[in-house]
C-alpha cells in the first residue's frame, strides 16, 4: 500500500523576488533530505529525490494548477501570493516537493508564510512537518494529531464532501 502526504504552501513574497526565482532550476538550490526535519530519513529522501532538479521553480509551481490540486499565483501591490495544495502519493512524484522547498529556502530573506507536508493517515509513522517562514528565518516543527488538518486540506482540494463519512 502506498502512503500520501499533503503538500500545503501559503507563501507571500515580493514580486521582484518571485520573478527572480521562478526561472531558476530546482537543482541550483541545495535542498537535501534533512531540510524537512523528518524523524524518518526515508521520508526526507522521498521528498528530495532529484527527479525535478532540471525543472524550473516556476514550472514546478504551474504543475499544481490542475484538477485535484490547488495552484494559484496572484500578484497585487508588488507582492506575489502562492497557494499550493496537493496530495503527494509515494507511487507518484513526491519529489516535486523539493522544488517548492527550494523556493521557500531561497526566498526566506523576504518571504513570509508556511510550508507543510501532512500525513493523510496512510503512513504509519509521523504526522508531518511544518516550516514557518518569517523574519528571514525558517522554523521547523513536527505536526502532531494531523486528522483535522487532513480534513481541511482534503476539503480544499477535493471538495466539502471529503472525509464526510469519517465525521
pLDDT of residue 132: 98
Run of H or E including 16: helix 15-21
Query: Closest Cα to residue 138, out of 95, 109, 167?
Result: 109
C-beta separation of 97 from 7 below 8 A: yes
pLDDT tens per residue across all 167 residues of the chain: 489 999 999 999 999 999 999 999 999 999 999 999 999 999 999 999 999 999 999 999 999 998 889 999 999 999 999 999 999 998 889 999 999 999 999 999 999 999 999 999 999 889 999 999 999 999 999 999 899 999 999 999 998 766 655 44
pLDDT of residue 117: 98
Q: 71: burial class by Cβ within 10 Å (0-12, 13-18, 19+)? A: middle
d(CA 167, CA 142): 25
d(CA 148, CA 166): 11
Question: Around 73, how many Cα atoms within 13 Å sit in the side-chain half-sphere?
Answer: 18
Name the grid cell of 108. Answer: 526566506
d(CA 63, CA 140): 25
| Distances 45 to 34, 96, 135 between C-alpha atoms, Å | 8, 12, 28
pLDDT of residue 160: 72
Give the predicted TM-score (pTM) of the model.
Answer: 0.93
pLDDT of residue 39: 94
Query: Judging by DSSP bridges, how do beta strands 112-119 and 128-134 pair with one another?
Result: antiparallel
3-state secondary structure of 140: strand
Amino acid at each position: 500500500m502506498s502512503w500520501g502526504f499533503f503538500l500545503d504552501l501559503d507563501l507571500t513574497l515580493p514580486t521582484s523576488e518571485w520573478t527572480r526565482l521562478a526561472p531558476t532550476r530546482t537543482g541550483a538550490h541545495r535542498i537535501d533530505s534533512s531540510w524537512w526535519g523528518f524523524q524518518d530519513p526515508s521520508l526526507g529522501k522521498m521528498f528530495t529525490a532529484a527527479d525535478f532538479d532540471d525543472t524550473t521553480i516556476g514550472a514546478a509551481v504551474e504543475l499544481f494548477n490542475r484538477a485535484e490540486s490547488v495552484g494559484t499565483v496572484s500578484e497585487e501591490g508588488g507582492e506575489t501570493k502562492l497557494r499550493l495544495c496537493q496530495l503527494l502519493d509515494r507511487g507518484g512524484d513526491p519529489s516535486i516537493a523539493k522544488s517548492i522547498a527550494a523556493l521557500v529556502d531561497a526566498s526566506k530573506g523576504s518571504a513570509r508564510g508556511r510550508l507543510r507536508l501532512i500525513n493523510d493517515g496512510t503512513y504509519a509513522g509521523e504526522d508531518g512537518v511544518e516550516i514557518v517562514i518569517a523574519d528571514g528565518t525558517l522554523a521547523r516543527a513536527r505536526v502532531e494529531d494531523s486528522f483535522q488538518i487532513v480534513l481541511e486540506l482534503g476539503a480544499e482540494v477535493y471538495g466539502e464532501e471529503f472525509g464526510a463519512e469519517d465525521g
